[in-house]
Amino acid sequence: MADSPQEPHDELGQVDDHEATETISTGTLPDAETIRRLLRQAHRRYAGNDDGAVADHIPALADADPGLFGISLTSIEGDVYSVGDTAHTFTIQSISKAFVFALACRELGHEPVRNTVGVNNTGLPFDSVMALELNGGHPMNPMVNAGALATSALVPGEDLEAKWNFIRDGLSRFAGRRLELDEDAWASEQAANQRNTGIARLLESHGRMDFDAADATDLFTRQCSLLVTAEDLSAMGATLSAGGVNPVTGDEVVGPEVARDTLAVLASTGMYEASGDWLFEIGLPAKSGVSGGVVTVSPGKGGLATYSAPLDDAGTSVRGQLAAGFLSARLGLNLFASRPAAQRAARGD
């Protein structure tokens, strides 16, 4: 039975923290009207939050409007709920890593990708060179830039264009529509890409780059420059929540095992060095990107996505994480939340 949150207060979402414990992770999403109301509440609650700063290490990102804020949820039934600026396009950046990892797992299998790329957190920033050196050149996981460069290099295709077509087609299937490349963002990052170029070369020096290092950097930069909306990201997340089938298009993008593996990696590494904090507060696998997107996945329920450009120090959207925390609790998504059996029986769930 659906675990419908009680809402004792008004649309502004003035609810106390005890209420959050009313919801648990089993069951289904609440009814459509409750979802819409909670999304509106989350948006109102955090739209006025001005904390954080827009990323500027890629020049094209610095122009983002810090006021834009959108929240979208796609259920495993393919129902889409949106509030705010959910049709605004932005570059997907690091969120692409999650879906390229899934595509690589689909092609190469669980064990080879685990051995080559790894699934453990580095505890260091996403573009850390030190993490690579400290681990003998092993990238550690696919969500830091070293691991993402290694993963993109692994996908099928003889040359850069073939691999690029594979990635673009795969990510488009996750989104349910053809994703376009932001040529200006791509050129902007290519011109400021010394760090990622260095990481790719370092992987090569450790014998962990089977593809041309410069082409691997270009490939990763292109995938980061694909344009998405918050609605696209929620469909992509919903695909991972629904055993790898895009619930809007019905397309079987990856298998259920790959979706499961990808979510496990996101839980431990998706939110950079703050992945533990995220799991502790929000209790769901998620991935953020430096352009301000966050996709949060509730296995068996749906994908939640936000867009808001100002980031915290680890590189995650401030409003995005506040909204995810609020909605995880109110929608009953936290994977670790439970209730004693007697209490559940008394409530009839």
Query: Are 116 and 150 spatial neighbours (Cβ–Cβ below 8 Å)?
Result: yes
Q: Which of 43, 15, 101 is nearest to 305 (CA)?
A: 43
Q: Which residue is nearest to ligand GLU (CB)?
A: 94
Q: Least distance from C-beta 344 to ligand GLU, angstroms?
A: 39
* Residue closer to ligand GLU (CB basis): 84 or 315: 315
**To which residue do tokens 């709920």 refer?**
81
Q: How far is the CB of 96 from ligand GLU (least distance, A)?
A: 8
Return the closest-CA partner of residue 220 out of 174, 296, 164.
164
CA dihedral 218, 220, 223, 225 (to 10 degrees): -70
Report the interface residues with ligand GLU, using CB under 6 A. Answer: 57-58, 93-94, 126-127, 145, 189, 196, 224, 289-290, 315
Nearer to ligand GLU, 38 or 267 (CB): 267
Per the annotation, does 196 bind a ligand?
yes
- In the complex with ligand GLU, the residue whose CB is nearer, 283 or 293, is 293
DSSP conformation letters of 47-95? HT---SB---SSGGGGG--TT--EEEEEETT--EEEEESTT--EE-TTH
What is the closest distance, in whole angstroms, from the C-beta atom of residue 93 to ligand GLU in the complex? 3
User: Nearest distance from residue 197's CB to ligand GLU, in Å?
Assistant: 11
Whether 49 has a binding-site annotation, put simply, is: no
**Beta strands at 90-91 and 227-228: parallel, antiparallel or unpaired:** antiparallel
Q: Which is nearer to ligand GLU, 49 or 190 (CB)?
A: 190
Q: Toward ligand GLU, which CB reaches closer, 69 or 220?
A: 220
Minimal distance in Å, beta carbon 169 to ligand GLU?
Answer: 20
Q: Is 189 annotated as a binding residue?
A: yes
Spatial contact of 47 and 286, defined as CB atoms under 8 Å apart: no
246 neighbors 235 (Cβ within 8 angstroms): yes
In the complex, minimum distance from the CB of residue 38 to ligand GLU, in angstroms, rounded to a whole number:
28
CB of 305 to ligand GLU, least distance (A): 15
Q: How far apart are CA 239 and CA 98, in angstroms?
A: 12
Contacts of 14 (CB under 8 A, 6+ apart): none
For residue 230, the cross-strand partners are none
Is 81 annotated as contributing to ligand binding?
A: no
**Residue 307 marked in a binding site:** no
The whole-angstrom separation of Cα 312 and Cα 55 is 10
Measured from the CB atom, the residue of 53 and 345 that comes closer to ligand GLU is: 53
290 is in an annotated binding site: yes
Q: Which residues contact 215 (CB under 8 A, 6 or more apart)?
A: 159, 160
Whole-angstrom distance, CA of residue 225 vs CA of residue 163: 15
Tell me whether residue 196 or residue 308 sits nearer to ligand GLU (CB atom): 196
Known binding residues for substrate are 94, 145, 189, 196, 272, 290
Known binding residues are 94, 145, 189, 196, 272, 290
